[in-house]
Structure formats: C-alpha cells, structure tokens
Amino acid sequence: MILETLFTMALFITGGYVIDTRLGLHRYNNEDYKEISLLRNKDSIYKHCIRHSRLENIKKIKSYRSNVDNGGMVTKYKIHDPYPHQDTPGQDTFNSQRINH
C-alpha cells in the first residue's frame, strides 16, 4: 500500500512523462508508466508511447555515482524505436513522366 501511494504521487508529479538519455520526452498511460517505473536494473520492456504514437523499447539503467550529490543513485531510461524507419521503394516518377517518342 505504501508502494502504491508512492507510485501515485510520482505519477501525479510527472504526469506519465519519461525523459530518456537523449533528453527526449515520452508519455505513457498510467499502467504502462507503473510497469516502467517498477522495472529492474538493465531490464527492458516494449510500451506504446502516447506522444509519438508508436511502440518503443524502454531500458532502465541505474548507476551509483560518487560525484552526484555526495553519492547517490541515478536512474536513466534508454528509449528507442524497435522498428526504425525504413524507406519503401516508391514509384519511379522520373521514368513515368518521360514521353517516349
């Protein structure tokens, strides 16, 4: 119950937004945000980003740094598109516009 209360406060503060390692902003629904926040270190999950309207792979990376606030844990999210944009071959407009005489 305490964990659920902490999660609800975190969701209220962030609004379901996650910032990735390249400072990109991503938004997920409440259930997906909960699953992302409960990931273990170096685990990944596929979730639908509301902001980008696509499926994304999210990897949680926790590290302990001695130079951050006199030591502490830093959590980062590495997010990328599992299906990068691929050009599909289109119609050859140059040859179709040529007039054969």
pLDDT higher for 89 or 61?
Answer: 61
CA–CA gap between residue 54 and residue 69 (Å, rounded) = 36
Count of domains observed in the chain: 1
For the cut 60, the answer to whether the pLDDT of residue 100 exceeds it is no
Ramachandran quadrant class, 29 (left: phi over 0; alpha: psi -120 to 50; beta: rest) = beta
Which structure tokens are listed for 13? Answer: 């503060």
Measure the CA angle with vertex 32, ends 74 and 48; round to 5°.
105
Residue 95 falls inside a structural domain:
no
3-class DSSP state of 64? strand
CA–CA gap between residue 39 and residue 50 (Å, rounded) = 19
Residue 91 falls inside a structural domain:
no
Range of the domain at 26: 15-83
Whether this model's pTM surpasses 0.75: no
Residue 74 falls inside a structural domain:
yes
Per residue in 49-68, pLDDT tens?
A: 999 888 999 999 998 877 65
3-class DSSP state of 36? helix
Residue 65 falls inside a structural domain:
yes
